[in-house]
Structure 1
């Protein structure tokens, strides 16, 4: 049984398959051909997909429930106030019970260890829908968005991340490098990418001929970039440190002054929700921004994950 834990755990080919499937399901969903819709709707008809969410969500919940419904499954949302997990019941007991009644569990949790506990004891595939270390569904969605906008298969692209070293950049860096794109990470002094990610990224870089650059100079990092990406400076659970973090991240807002150093046809991405300290309105709402297209693509990334890990039981070539 295969689980989706991180992009690092996928082969290059497996990542390509997930992105290509997301692209194909987007075509099917947009076309709304009755025969194709019915054919896919029957794949999981009568089945249930559980969503165990310890953290609030907009895009992840909507996309997961929408994807489950597309395949005919009934999505079951289990928020932290809906079940006994962490109150009167252990992770082990909850996992055993829930996984005995559903076909898949999408888990949006706090720690990476929670994901590992789920995968260890579950009877069904676990799809990591965010933990403090990884966010693979976001990375699949992001690769589809870049492919649609700039076609990384035909063009040598340079993607630059400006901001915090968090779960989103961890999977995005690995995904970009696996697909042959160069990836630059610009973080404030004292904020470093995880050594686990750096080691894995450098191995991929050697194999693929793609380049990883780590920098604390936002201007230098942005020069010539085809894609600019940022995310929240204050992650969920870090609200207590907001004042200190905003001071630390001064000079790392993606604005017109910074973006002028990027490629003239650059694209801007943000996984949302966004705050003005991360990106100015002038950039976020400009013609360069593909953040809302990116948000929509979360639906098709979830479809691809369900198709591979649930419908086809982990067979990427089915």
Structure 2
């Protein structure tokens, strides 16, 4: 019987695993900078407060909050007039990961302004939960909720603004370009809707150069644009498609939002030529990225080949809804004491 000779070579020492993230403890959490306030618009926070929220979002994505449950014992009502995949899932999962609880209320159950006065809904919810996220048709509904409830009201989408989405968008953009985005060209192409308005607000806060490219008659809200100009923002509103060229970020959204189905044919004709395709993506900056808040109506504002393009960060952007909204909820609700 023969035996196999042992090798005289020494085995290399195993490579140590990379250091993990520094985990927060209850004593190292940042102070909630928006404590008890409403978040109906990105302009409900200062540039410094936005920076803190974004830093928290990045920290959460790195896994540095796994050891803490800062919203333990708190509850958030999720009120939906409009259907949602990303908004519902990310706010619900986000509350769970922070130690809290979310309850989803459909329009059939609540009937804002139809089954029950908005003010009555607000005064009921504030006695049971610690915050409300509402995804509604009208900005005025959010304002009425905020005026009648002493707990934080979060805009999950309205006809005027979509501010929580923009937090995720800018987290995605910062992952590409870093924190200082001054002078970066953010080009939004398509309907001058709630997202276009919120892009203008974020341009005010971050110093980005925001360009809205839209057909005649579909420009963003005039008062939003005028306010941005008064504040010294770098804003361009144009119908010229060549403005897309050289963009650092190219962003689009659906042409036909929920509630606009009767205008579908008119809008498709008006927006012909404004579709984001791989050919259009070839004209933006070499390191530029493509964003879309989803859902995509393929064949209209974009095509599958664009969301799957090497410059696309669409699904990173969707993931960041979770992290950015967790950061927002922490800074709004993190100073609260459970009421039970």
Which TM-score applies when normalising by structure 1? 0.90
The aligned runs of 1:55-134 (5 Å cut-off) are 55-83=82-110, 85-134=112-161
Q: Give the Cα separation in 2 of the matches to 1:257 and 1:96.
A: 52
Change (3 A) 1:126 1:60: same
Which structure has more helix as a fraction of its residues? 1
The aligned runs of 1:115-154 (5 Å cut-off) are 115-153=142-180
Do residues 18 (structure 1) and 83 (structure 2) align?
Answer: no
Q: 1:291 aligns with which of 296, 309, 314?
A: 314
Q: Give the Cα separation in 1 of the matches to 2:307 and 2:289.
A: 10
- Which structure is larger by alpha-carbon Rg, 1 or 2? 2
Please give the root-mean-square deviation of Cα atoms over the aligned residues, in Å. 1.6
Q: Give the Cα separation in 1 of the matches to 2:264 and 2:100.
A: 40
Cα deviation digits, residues 121-166 of structure 1 (max 9, x gap): 0121101111110111001111100000222517741110010001
* Aligned 8 A contact 2:80 2:136 in 1: yes
Q: Give the Cα separation in 2 of the matches to 1:55 and 1:109.
A: 6
Report the CA distance between 1:258 and its aligned residue. 2.5
Cα deviation digits, residues 20-52 of structure 1 (max 9, x gap): 211111112xx6xxxx4242x2x2222211111
Q: 5+ residue gaps in structure 2? A: 1-35
Change (3 A) 1:197 1:81: same
Q: 5+ residue gaps in structure 1? A: 314-318
* Aligned 8 A contact 2:209 2:235 in 1: yes
Query: Which region of structure 1 is more displaced relative to structure 2, 77-86 or 147-156?
Result: 147-156
Do residues 52 (structure 1) and 82 (structure 2) align?
Answer: no
Q: Give the Cα separation in 2 of the matches to 1:196 and 1:60.
A: 27
Name the residue aligned to 1:199. 226
Cα deviation digits, residues 249-276 of structure 1 (max 9, x gap): 0010011332332112220000000012
Cα deviation digits, residues 227-249 of structure 1 (max 9, x gap): 10000000000011111100000
The aligned runs of 1:224-239 (5 Å cut-off) are 224-239=246-261
Which TM-score applies when normalising by structure 2? 0.84
**Number of residue pairs matched by the alignment:** 300
The aligned runs of 1:239-318 (5 Å cut-off) are 239-276=261-298, 277-312=300-335
Change (3 A) 1:304 1:237: same
Change (3 A) 1:141 1:53: same
SS in 1 for 2:175: helix
* Aligned 8 A contact 2:190 2:274 in 1: yes
Report the CA distance between 1:298 and its aligned residue. 0.3
